[in-house]
Chains A and B, each alone.
Chain A
Amino acid sequence: MPRIPQLSGRRVVAGIPILWLLVLFLIPFLIVFRISFSEVRLAIPPYTPLFTWHHGSPSLQLHWSSYAFLFTDSLYVSSYVYSLKVAAVSTLCCLLIGYPMAYAIARAAPASRSVLLMLIVLPFWTSFLLRVYAWIGLLKNNGVINNVLLWLGVIHHPLVLLQTDFAVYIGIVYSYLPFMILPLYANLEKHDGALLEAAADLGARPMRAFLRITLPQSLAGILAGSLLVFIPAVGEYVIPTLLGRPDQLMIGRVLSDEFFENRDWPVASAVAILVLLLLVIPIMWFQRLERRELEAK
């Protein structure tokens, strides 16, 4: 008889988080999906119902107007393209900066590894918002970077650094760098040094050994880190709002403005659904990597 309480106990343990996430994670997306097919109206809530009753039977009211609006107004299309570009460039920069850093940590003496890792993670524990804000003080026209360059005599007029694409890249790379380094480190740390020694014994130059052995073996880490940076960067809101150009918005800002400024819930929902459509493949890819990482130990 003791098997039955065990089974139901398991059901409760797994059931509670599943139920919680169904209600607060999955169903909300269905609601967003449903509202994206409504039209805006002056009422509470400010959108038309999905079903209307005609002579006692429900009839489905699907409005495509929000989606049509998004595709005809060039503002939205250009924000999508711009967000993808910014996320891609930032991810590449993160990889180029993060890979050598992760490599150096993985090759460091075991005792100093944990200290180095702590140094990488420590900024992550302090406020994200304040770290982005710190860059305003550095990048402003009369900010620290311009003052130093003027004082050194490298430039004679302050450079315009804030409210540029460059500032957004800096902000994203700065904030997301730990997310790139940690999976890369986890991967590189597991590598077997004997393979590199064998390659060296057989006469391979270090560069060739790196390209033929280390790099291919670390592909899973590169992918995990890149997805961990790319996906949230597409929808980034705080960094472009504080550091970016006022004339070219990223899609996260567009969504938030539609919702808060224009109070157009259907269009905001349609923006969210289209961002999700763009990201569904990267997200599922990330989940597969994550599952493999968590279950293959």
Chain B
Amino acid sequence: MRSRGLFSRCALILGLVFLYVPILSMIIFSFNNSRLVTVWDAAHSPTLKWYVALAANEQVLRAAWLSIRIALVASTGAVILGTLAGVALARFGAFRGRLLLAGMTTAPIVMPEVITGLSLLLLFVALQQLIGWPRGVGAVTIALSHITFCMAYVTVVVQSRLVGMDVSLEEAAMDLGARPGRVFFRITLPLILPAIASGWLLAFTLSWDDLVITQFVAGPGSSTLPMVIFSKVRFGVTPDINALATILVLIVATGIAGSTVWMRYQQRRRERDVLLAAAANL
């Protein structure tokens, strides 16, 4: 028993090292003076020159701004559609189209991205021929595609939260005569808000990060940040990308740490409220 616990614990530590060494090396070398990226120039490092270069790179800044706007639209759209699908799958029992909906919300999660990207572009081309819309590909087609693959993840998050949740509160509200819409907005929605929030964050990250699908449905002049990064790193390592990676890692790490602390706080407050309510009833 002891020895196996030791083995799996060592594996866990080594695995975590494996996960973090590449990220740490990017952060370290973002402060390196040398153009050779992986050769540490001790005489002139650490330096912030790649951060300065990045701040002056208009192509990167424009792409980042486009990516942010697309991710905001896509994650919001995905949350609305994904919540509807999650509610339907978790609360409506058996209905016509249920199997279809369940299949269409799990398949995009594993579908190879090249296939999704190709099929979406061919759809947009066919639509343009049939009804004249969308006119060419660009930010609009990227956002539509991102909504589609992100909503699958939101659906799974919302659905599993709803399935794991007690229905008695909703039933009580309905027994008291509340209409289904009112039950949803007053009872269900506040209860699943954490799941919706994490679904939104997940969708935002997936959209912000997507390269392969975007490459298919993007047009000239609509290069997102991953597309710019990919075209740069395809032909070798460039130090300003290390700086960009460091900034992104910092943003994500603070965001995750902040939301974890906040959720802990919320949970503790809820537990305290429950205790207080129980004490008041005594």
Residues of A that sit less than 8 Å from B by CB: 2, 6, 9-10, 13-18, 20-29, 31-32, 35, 45, 97-98, 100-101, 103-105, 107, 114, 116, 118-120, 122-123, 125-131, 133-138, 140, 142-144, 147, 174, 177, 200, 206-207, 210, 227-228, 231-232, 234-238, 241-242, 252, 255-256, 259, 265, 268-269, 272, 275-276, 279, 282-283, 286-287, 290-291, 293-295, 297
Contacts and interface: CB of A to CB of B under 8 A. Distances in A.
Given A235-B113, A290-B106, 9 more contacts: A13-B84, A16-B81, A128-B211, A131-B22, A133-B26, A133-B245, A135-B22, A137-B22, A232-B110
Contacts of B68: none
B148 A20 contact: yes
B253 A143 contact: no
Given A45-B125, A142-B38, A237-B114, A287 B3 contact: no
Nearest to A286: B110
- The A contact surface, by secondary structure, is helix
A207 B4 contact: yes
A250 B92 CA distance: 42
A293 B120 CA distance: 29
B140 interface: no
A129 B144 contact: no
B119 interface: yes
A133 B92 contact: no
Interface in B107-164: 107-115, 118-120, 122-123, 125-126, 129, 144-145, 147-148, 151, 155-156, 159-160, 163-164
B110 A142 contact: no
Nearest to B155: A17
A17 B103 contact: no
A104 B38 CA distance: 34
Contacts, number: 267
Interface size class of B (residues with CB under 8 A): 35 or more
A283 B110 contact: yes
Interface stretch (B43-51, B233-241, B273-281): B233-241
Nearest 9 A/B pairs, CB to CB? A235-B112, A28-B119, A100-B11, A134-B22, A17-B85, A104-B12, A14-B88, A104-B8, A28-B123
A137 B38 contact: yes
B112 A279 contact: yes
A104 B252 contact: no
B229 A231 contact: no
Nearest to A6: B180
A18 B101 contact: yes
Nearest to A83: B112
B119 A272 contact: yes
A294 to B, nearest CB: 6
Question: A25, A123, A276: which has the most chain B beta carbons within 10 Å?
Answer: A25
Given A122-B256, A297-B160, A129 B11 contact: no
A269 to B, nearest CB: 7
A6 B92 CA distance: 11
Contacts of B57: none
Contact of B113 (A103, A119, A207, A232): A232
Nearest to B245: A130
B282 interface: no
Interface string B175-205: 0000111000000000000000000000001
